[in-house]
């Protein structure tokens, strides 16, 4: 009975403290990085999760915010020029 309790406590501490097996390590960015293909008994590990449509998701997030940022910058530049806070000088360097 006590050996089962000790085993359960060891598993709980391993879950709380993070993976310590060679099957799962983490790189600098904190993402899980699996280097093994089989377990120590020879069983093949399941396929890792794969993020589908990665570039499409990035584009769907980046492009709207890029557009909104461009519009804010354009409107703020027009506001500064309207109040004569920042007016570009007309340099005639056609000499």
Whole-prediction pTM value?
0.44
The predicted-structure confidence for 43-70, as pLDDT tens digits, reads as follows: 998 988 888 888 999 999 999 999 999 9
pLDDT digits (tens, 9 = 90+) for 22-33: 455 544 555 566
* Lowest pLDDT segment from 3-7, 37-41, 91-95: 91-95
Q: Dihedrals φ, ψ of 79, to 5°?
A: -65, -45
> Which of the two residues, 85 and 4, has the higher pLDDT score?
85
Q: What whole-number distance in Å separates Cα of residue 36 and Cα of residue 46?
A: 11
Q: Which uninterrupted H or E stretch holds 17?
A: helix 2-17
């Amino acid at each position: 009975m006590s050996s089962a309790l000790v085993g359960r406590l060891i598993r709980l501490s391993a879950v709380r403290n993070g993976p310590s097996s060679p099957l799962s390590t983490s790189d600098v960015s904190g993402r899980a990085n699996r280097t093994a293909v089989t377990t120590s008994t020879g069983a093949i590990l399941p396929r890792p999760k794969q993020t589908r449509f990665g570039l499409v998701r990035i584009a769907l997030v980046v492009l709207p915010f890029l557009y909104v940022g461009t519009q804010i910058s354009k409107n703020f530049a027009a506001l500064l020029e309207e109040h004569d806070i920042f007016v570009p000088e007309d340099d005639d360097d056609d000499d």
